Amino acid sequence: MKKISYFIIITVYSIFSIQAAAQDPEAYNKLYTKVYLEISPKDMPLALQIADSLFSISKTPLFQTKSLMLSASLYQQQQSLTKAAELAEEAYKIISKTSDYNWMVRVSGFLATQYRMLQLYGKSKMYCDRALALVSKINNPEMVKSTMGLIHQELAYNDIAAKDYHSSIQHIRESQKNFDRISQNKDYLTADNEQLLGLSYFHLADYKRALYHYQNSLNLMSKMPDNIVKGLCYNGIAAVHIQREELSQAKHYLDSAVKIAGDSRHLPLKSEIYKTSQQYYLKVKDLAGFEKVRQKQDSVRDEMSSSRAQFLDSALIRMENKNQEAQRIIKARNIPIAIATIFIIVSISCFFFYRRRQKRRFAQFMADFEIRRKIPSSGSLITGSTNTTPEPATEVLISDDSQNHKAEQEQSATKKQGNQQVIPEETLQRILASLDLFEEEHLFTSANVSLSFLSTHLNTNSKYLSYILKQYKQKDFTRYINDLRINYILKNLKEDPEWRKYKISILAEKAGFSSHSKFTNIFKAYTGLSPSTFIQYLSGEETAGITAGNLL
């Protein structure tokens, strides 16, 4: 009965409030604030309904933009990042037709964050640049400084995702210069910058500075309730102590981070804390704890991937609709243009026939690639049943080639002698778990990876590692690293259109290959196509919808 009464009261109040807001900007702002701060924590569906009603009665571009951004913020709270981004894009189209630079910048900043969380860093950077170009046109000096600080902070997040930690530190310093000159939310924004400095210095292995900045952040938030930034600080301090082998101290901070993550819906926070937890359990040799956390992280990653895939799917649908509209326009053009089009089609038909075979190979390869991605144990890029791709080049495309070759010769000789490696079960499970982390963290993209390096990194010896790779990955060390690297490039080329704009030499460097030519040879051996041709076909598949079922 109480729930029914509450619903009736809220509904009646909302109807009158919305009607009042349609006439009075002050009433509009009060209702906007009430929905976001008071109604949404208690009744999210009602909050979304009111936000939608606000948009329907909004008479000006500003009110339409604000109501759309209210809905976008509510969907962001629910981690519905795709819906949040779509609403914000609609809001930007509306406000960009006005001279309200303040809201243009605010919407651009929101979109930059959404696309970063969707791991679409190219689009995130685009909106950051757009905000920087507009921020100087805002009349309010306080707003200019606050916005500039937030933009540089967002650019720092992008640099960290790209592993450019020196650049991220520069953006954070620039961000803080602006935050130092504002009055509202200064402590929280500064705390977030300190947390980002701690993370950057941690990745640079400067653990003393990392601890200093993490602690600064916690001090600034000492009187604030638990939040995402606090959780990241606790997690960062725990990670530092793990690196220093100070496991009891690491456990204390990790427990605090896990508590905050448990009460939060912020998936990136959960993912980071689960990653650190796995490292801790490996250090204390608690394989049961490791496996439990790993399952949680897999669940979070699946949810994050689902959000990103949902956005990409909707983007492809919009692209297909635009293509259909373009086709209708082409059909409506005059006869001379149609004749010219036919002439062009006839002229390229021979070339198309030549390319057809390559396209079939490409489509088959992508279909097989998608199947293998869904089967964690498959690992290799080569399919024995179809035999559609040749064996990879025998040249070792990692550093310390001679040492790797020698180690593999020793392994082969050992096998011919009939000797079997006897590895304790606990050691075996530890090495396999560490290999999983090695793959998840993309450490294979380092140009310095070698058999001896990886053995040292996993705290084992080359013979054990070679034996485990042969028995559990069904490949030697060279094949294992090349598989990981090519899979890494293929995954990013498929999922992030920005990668297709890189030069081949940049792709080679990102994957860890020592030269453009070596990368090209190995890539062609795996796919049957050169990197440039493969990218051309991949872009063509997504634009024209050819064999879309295989690619998505």
- The pLDDT of residue 188 is above 60: yes
> For 371-382, what is each residue's pLDDT tens digit?
766 555 444 444
| Tokens at 431, concatenated | 């090495």
Q: Report residue 12 as tokens.
A: 């009646």
Of 61 and 358, the one with more pLDDT: 61
Q: Which two tokens stand for residue 56?
A: 């329907």
Q: What is the 3-state secondary structure (H, E, C) of 280-336?
A: HHHHCCCHHHHHHHHHHHHHHHHHHHHHHHHHHHHHHHHHHHHHHHHHHHHHCCCHH
* Residue of 9, 540, 70, 11 whose CA lies nearest to 319: 540
By the 10 Å C-beta count (0-12 exposed, 13-18 middle, 19+ buried), 472 is classed as: middle
CA dist 229 and 502 (Å) reads 33
d(CA 549, CA 552) in angstroms, rounded, equals 6
Angle at 215 between CA 210 and CA 220, to 5 degrees: 130
232 and 194 in contact (C-beta within 8 Å)? no
pLDDT for position 247: 92
Average pLDDT over residues 120-124: 85
Residue 530 DSSP class: -
pLDDT at residue 116, rounded to an integer? 83
* 281-290 pLDDT per residue, tens: 999 999 899 9
Mean pLDDT within 338-367? 62
**Residue holding tokens 């000492």?**
222
Per-residue pLDDT band at 342 (split at 50, 70, 90): low
- pLDDT at position 169, please? 96
Asked if 234 and 272 touch (Cβ cutoff 8 Å), the reply is no
- Considering only residues 5 and 435, tell me which one the structure prediction assigns the higher pLDDT: 435
Query: What's residue 349's pLDDT?
Result: 56
Report which DSSP code applies to 108. Answer: H
Residue 183 CA: distances (Å) to CA of 145, 172, 217, 230, 243: 10, 18, 18, 21, 38
**Cβ-based neighbour number of residue 416 at 10 Å:** 8
> Comparing 221 with 330, which gets the higher pLDDT?
221
Task: Indicate whether 546 pLDDT > 50.
Answer: no
The pLDDT > 70 percentage for the chain reads 73
pLDDT of residue 174: 94
At 45 the pLDDT is: 85
pLDDT confidence of residue 37: 64
Mean pLDDT of the chain: 78
CA distance 279 to 202: 15
Lowest-pLDDT range of 177-186, 266-275, 377-386, 535-544 = 377-386
* Window from 43-52, 60-69, 201-210, 490-499 with minimum mean pLDDT: 43-52
**Given pLDDT bands bounded at 50, 70 and 90, which one contains residue 523?**
very high
- The 10s digit of each residue's pLDDT in 529-538 is 889 988 888 8
Cα–Cα distance between 466 and 70 in angstroms, integer?
56
When pLDDT is averaged across residues 31-59 and rounded to a whole number, the result is: 79
In this structure, what token pair is assigned to residue 162? 């790209």
CB proximity list for 223: less than 8 A, separation 6 or greater? none
Q: Are 44 and 10 in contact (CB under 8 A)?
A: no
Per-residue pLDDT tens for 459-509? 889 898 999 999 998 989 999 999 999 999 999 998 888 899 899 999 999
pLDDT at 417: 40
